[in-house]
Amino acid sequence: MSPLLKARNSTRPVAPGMPGAEFAAGWLMRDEAIMGTAIHVELWSDDHAAGEKAISAVMHEMHRIDRAMSPHRPDSELSRINRDAAAGPVPLSAEMFRLIARADAFSRLSDGAFDITYAAVGQLYDYRERVRPSPEALEAARAAVGYQHLVLDAQARTVRFALEGMRIDLGGFAKGHAVDNSVAILRRLGIAHAIVSAGGDSRAMGDCRGRPWSIGIRDPRRSGEMVAVLPLEDVSISTSGDYERYFDADGKRFHHLIDPATGQSPRSVHSVTVLADDGLTSEALSKAVFVLGVDKGLRLIESQAGVDAVVIDSNGTLHYSSGLLAPGPKATP
């Protein structure tokens, strides 16, 4: 077993700024609900006012991205794309164009396991109301899924849907982007030690003042317990689990992680945690590996330099990539 993977039932360690820890001078933190998830910022600043200003800048950025990329805001750029792109090319902001282009690259890398056009199917599920589509509705929606039919024009900076009924959703991508932007803001403001989290996506900036940040991977079936604790510095970590938004019916779990090929929830895996240099990569690959399953998913991870993963399968068994066993650079096949 990797020395990084602690015994099952280990609990999340206490870090500065967390309840139960001594609140050392210079540590500041704040929590808010933005983008439909919990946002957490924790940082060290020698100047209290400067630290509070830095946290406020992060929260402002989270709100800005939510306004642009929320599928629930009719005036967001994402909503405008979904409303108009089937009729013709839609002009995009430089930021949105880059994100969709990166999403397309991850779709190609994962052979479609990651695909933002899954939204044509995803919109048919309501996890709070325990609603799932009929076989007929699912089949009709699946016909509108396929990243190959997302037409990007780099020169004109536009996107067009080549299929009627297509939609995109950046829910598997925007949080990683927001975390990346937030860390860039903190660096510009002179912060050297911080962690920014948006739901299951976190990015550690520097270390925790002389020791690594300790981030736990939760047990997907036992709330409040950890299956692993990872000591991390200067890395992004994203976890995708079938326990986040779901309902159980007919002996199956219907959750928000959708296989674009079937329009249904994969069930061979309970959670996937990916470590990478940036949040876009860790978040996209955590979704892709969840869909691909243990064997294909870990082969994808092993093909990417500087990327590692921990996968918990449907039997509760932990699987992890070679980089968590042997420190040092990973060779790219």
Q: Where in the chain is the domain with CATH 1.10.3980.10?
A: 83-161
Superfamily in which the 83-161 domain is placed by CATH: ApbE-like superfamily (1.10.3980.10)
Amino acid at 86: A
253 token code pair: 């779990």
Residue 330 has pLDDT above 70, yes or no: no
Q: pTM (2 decimals)?
A: 0.89
pLDDT tens digits for range 139-162: 999 999 999 999 999 999 999 999
Output the six-digit token pair for 100.
């969709």
* CA–CA separation, 94 and 114 (whole Å): 22
47 is written with which tokens?
């100047």
Average pLDDT of the segment spanning 172-186: 95
Q: What is the pLDDT of residues 292-304, one digit of tens each?
A: 999 999 999 999 9
Which among 332, 94, 265, 283 is positioned nearest to 177, based on CA atoms?
Answer: 283
Characterize the bridge pairing of strands 158-161 and 194-198: unpaired
pLDDT band at 49 (very low <50, low <70, confident <90, very high): very high
pLDDT range class, residue 24, cuts 50, 70, 90: very low
Q: Which amino acid is at 87?
A: A
Q: For residues 252 and 73, what is the distance between their CA atoms, to the nearest angstrom?
A: 32
Whole-number pLDDT of residue 325: 79
CA–CA distance, 53 with 70 (Å, rounded to integer): 25
Is residue 222's pLDDT more than 90? Answer: yes
The class (CATH top level) of 20-71+171-206 is: alpha beta
Q: What is the pLDDT of residues 114-131, one digit of tens each?
A: 999 999 999 999 999 999
Q: Where in the chain is the domain with CATH 3.10.520.10?
A: 1-16+208-333, 20-71+171-206
What is the CATH T-level fold of the domain 1-16+208-333, as seen in this structure? T-fold (3.10.520)
Query: What is the pLDDT of the chain when averaged over all its residues?
Result: 91
- Helix runs in the chain, H state only: 48-69, 77-84, 94-109, 119-122, 135-142, 174-188, 279-292, 294-302
Pairwise CA distance, residues 285 & 307, whole Å? 9
Q: How does residue 132 score in pLDDT terms, banded at 50, 70 and 90?
A: very high
pLDDT score for 124: 97
